[in-house]
Chain A
Amino acid sequence: MKKIICVILALALGITACLSMAGCSTNDTVENLEGEYTTEYAGTTLNVFNWALYISDGIEGSLDVNAAFEKLTGIDVNYSTYDSNEAMYGKMKSGAVAYDIVIPSDYMIQRMINEDMLREIDVTKLSNYHYIDDKYKGLYYDPDNKYSVAYNVGMVGLIYNTTLVEEAPTSWKVMWDERYTGNVLTFNNPRDAFAIAQFALNIDLNTTDIAEWNRAADYLKQQNKILQGRVMDEVFNKMESANAAIAPYYAGDFLSMQEENEDLAFVYPEEGTNIFVDAICIPENCQNYEAALMYINFLMEPEVALANAEYIYYASPNTAVVNNENYSLKDNEILYPEVEPKTQYFHDLPSDVRTHYENLWNEVILAD
């Protein structure tokens, strides 16, 4: 009996060993490097703070970007993640942490620049900077390209289940359509949920006019009886298993939902939609500036950027990716629409406007 147990244990050990060996064979080598990378900073640590699931991590044979950078430069990448701009901002503001790389969205970059939280990036030291499409340079939050390098671009659109809608929607107003009562989802955060009402009512997303915010809030209250719920990442599960007919979400995320459920379709509503750019920045209290520059350059490497674009599914601002014949999403009509939809960026709003719409948001939910 004892012998049998020994044999089983030995087998189990052997299997785990095999599995961990397989785990070691991840792809951490970039074949064709265009920039210069030194091992001058080997042994130092680079603290990277990024969105969750926002870098190719070696899963299913993809490139493990951080491991590849470590292997190349000897720098130890200490990688941590957040799931909202606000959570990231709060953590940075608390002063308890010092990061060398952070990847906020446009309006948050604007706020961080205004509050002197970012350090200037010397783009002349970034040999791969020319790969960034000019469309994503000199944007409103950083007109002189001093603080940020675009990492990903995305737009919000309407995801709908073709078997559950009577005709393909073209307007945000479908989210107020009584035929779909109990079948509509919306964002569970005030800014994104208000944006939909603002587009439907033709109000500027960045208005500082309190009366216009109130008008949007009244419109949102009318939506309460139609809504099935307010969700963030739960939307994947709900749309993939046809629990709801209509939901607004990001174009890139729609592509992954569609892989799970072919009945899903996507549209950029005619009133326009929210566009965002997430860009790489260096915080003011960065401890390893030169290594951070090297990391930014590495992220712009054609091969690295391609691996990230394939993994993240968002639109890439990197021309080497967009024009690459091997890019599986090349010319994808959802990520890179031929006729560009009307778009608006979020801008950072004054804190009294923020407080106002947050209170309105509570009112909207309580009116439910």
Chain B
Amino acid sequence: MTKRSARQALINAPYMLWAGIFIVVPLFIVMYYAFTDSTGAFSFANILALADYAEVFRVSIIFSVIATIITLLIGYPFAYCLTKLPVRAQRMQMMLVMLPMWMNLLIRTYSWMNILEKNGLINTVLSGLGLPTANMIGTPGAVILGMVYNYLPYMILPIYTTMAKIDPSLSEAAEDLGCNAWQKMRRLIVPMSIPGVVSGITMVFVPSISTFYISQKLGGGKILLIGDIIERQIQVSYNYNLGASLSFVLMVLILISMAIMNRFSNGEGEMVV
């Protein structure tokens, strides 16, 4: 037994070393910067300065919550319909979901700029049809669209995976016992797919709340998210301390929301929403 665990530890060692150097140590560096001033002395100044950014945090949270809800509303039915397709078609569909991710985020976002622009693709079509044009670029809607578009695959994938694992015989049993389609959905499919939904929400919410590039390009520089502020502290202001303390608070926020989400998934299949 001890022999086996020693071997296990040896196998784990490279991973632990990797995680230590590239995950744990950098986190401590972030903490160090967050609680020191530019001379390296211990200071709460950066944390106190965060009060100035309360509004930016509020906007970022609202944007990411909206984006997460929309991806869930699109992703969940999509994943469900996917499981109803023949296996070959499922594979094809998954490919199509993944395909845009092979392109760089920057290029995808730039393309959206050209689509939403004042004289962009959509407005050209609209005016060609004699319809009034819409002002899309530089609006909150454009930023949320960018988030939804970019992060939707992260919602679909985990939900699809958990749904695909639900034993078809359970579904048949539910039907035998007289469940109609709605009851089957509510009492079987939804509860059983909760773990996928939880990880989908986490995987969309986390990148959404720290988004920066999308908001600059699609928001036309009129929308300021916390990711933009952090980027500017590091890239422009050369204020690593403030940048680190903003990142630190963001991490705490994410950890809290993940803890809340995990409470929902603890019950696994027994949860009733």
Contacts and interface: CB of A to CB of B under 8 A. Distances in A.
B137 interface: yes
Given A90-B238, A237-B113, A359-B52, A365 B224 contact: yes
B114 interface: yes
Contacts of B137: 228-229, 243
Contacts of A359: 52
A241 B216 contact: no
Interface in A68-98: 84, 86-87, 89-90, 93
B221 A84 contact: no
B235 interface: yes
Interface in B117-135: 117-120, 135
Chain B interface SS verdict (over half)? loop
Contact of B224 (A84, A189, A366): A366
A229 B222 contact: yes
B117 A90 contact: no
Interface in B212-256: 216-217, 219-224, 229, 232, 234-239
B175 interface: no
Nearest to A186: B221
A86 B237 contact: yes
A358 B56 contact: no
Contact of A229 (B114, B220, B236): B220
A182 interface: yes
Interface string B146-170: 0000000000000000000000000
A86 B118 contact: no
B236 A241 contact: no
Contact of A228 (B55, B138, B216, B223): B138
A227 B119 contact: no
Given A188-B216, A228-B138, A230-B221, A89 B238 contact: yes
Contacts of A366: 55-56, 59, 224
Contact of A234 (B113, B119, B135, B235): B113
B119 A188 contact: no
Contacts of A188: 216, 221
Nearest to A193: B221
Contacts, number: 70
Contacts of B55: 366
* Chain B interface residue bracket vs A: 20 to 34
Interface in A219-241: 224, 227-231, 234, 237-238, 241
A362 interface: yes
Contact of A241 (B53, B117, B239): B117
The 8 closest A-B pairs by CB, nearest first: A229-B220, A230-B221, A188-B221, A86-B236, A243-B118, A229-B138, A365-B224, A90-B238
22 contacts: A90-B234, A90-B238, A93-B238, A188-B216, A188-B221, A189-B236, A227-B222, A228-B138, A229-B137, A229-B220, A229-B221, A234-B217, A237-B114, A241-B117, A243-B119, A354-B237, A355-B237, A355-B239, A365-B221, A365-B223, A365-B224, A366-B59
